[in-house]
Structure 1
């Protein structure tokens, strides 16, 4: 049985972005995270060690907002994948960083579709 340790936990936005990015990559239908190229209408698929560039974390008066910019696999049901992605990220942030899901909003931006081949 885990023992409760008194104190507070402070987690930086970069760490939250890393956790959210890795949680997103474990979801079915997600090919990768995307980065919007400045001044262009295209996106770049990010390498595994640069996932945080596809995640924007903002703390506001209503809690924490996590924006995920993802590339999904072509021909998947986007609604189902996004619902699964949102709940997986919220669950992982709750388990790892102790973030209350009631104060968390996960926003998903599908920036591109891609074949896995």
Structure 2
């Protein structure tokens, strides 16, 4: 049986970005995280070890704001994938980092569509 330990938990924004990135990658329809290239109007698909570059975490007076920049698989229902993605990221952050979902807002930016082949 789990035991409650008194104290507080502090999680850095980089760790939250890593957790959110890995949660996003486990969702159906997500090909990968993306990064906006400076000075260009194109995006780059990030390798698995650099997922946090596609996630921006910031604090607001209402709570925590997580911006995800993703590349989706071509032909998927974007609305369903984004709803699932938002839910999965919120659930994972609640489970691992103990972040209150009422104080968490997940914003998804679909930067590109790509065929998996």
| Count of paired positions | 117
Q: 1:24-39 maps to which residues of 2 (within 5 A)?
A: 24-39=24-39
Q: State the Cα distance separating 1:66 from its structure 2 match.
A: 0.1
Corresponding position of 1:47: 47
Query: Secondary structure, in 3 states, of the residue corresponding to 2:39?
Result: coil
CA displacement, residues 30-56 of structure 1 (integer Å, 9 cap, x when unaligned): 000000000101000000000000000
Give the aligned partner of residue 57 of structure 1. Answer: 57
Counterpart in 2 of 1:17? Answer: 17
Alignment match, 2:109: 109
Correspondences of 1:89-100 after superposition (within 5 Å): 89-100=89-100
Instruction: Report the alpha carbon displacement of residue 105 of structure 1 after superposing the two structures with TM.
Output: 0.1
* CA apart distance, 1:67: 0.1
Which residue does 1:7 correspond to in 2? 7
Q: Deviations over 1:62-88 (max 9, x none)?
A: 100000000000000000000000000
Offset at residue 25 of structure 1 (A): 0.1
- Structure 2, unaligned runs of 5 or more: none
Runs of 4+ displaced beyond 3 Å:
none
Q: What's the Cα RMSD here?
A: 0.3
CA distance in 1, matches of 2:25, 2:42: 20
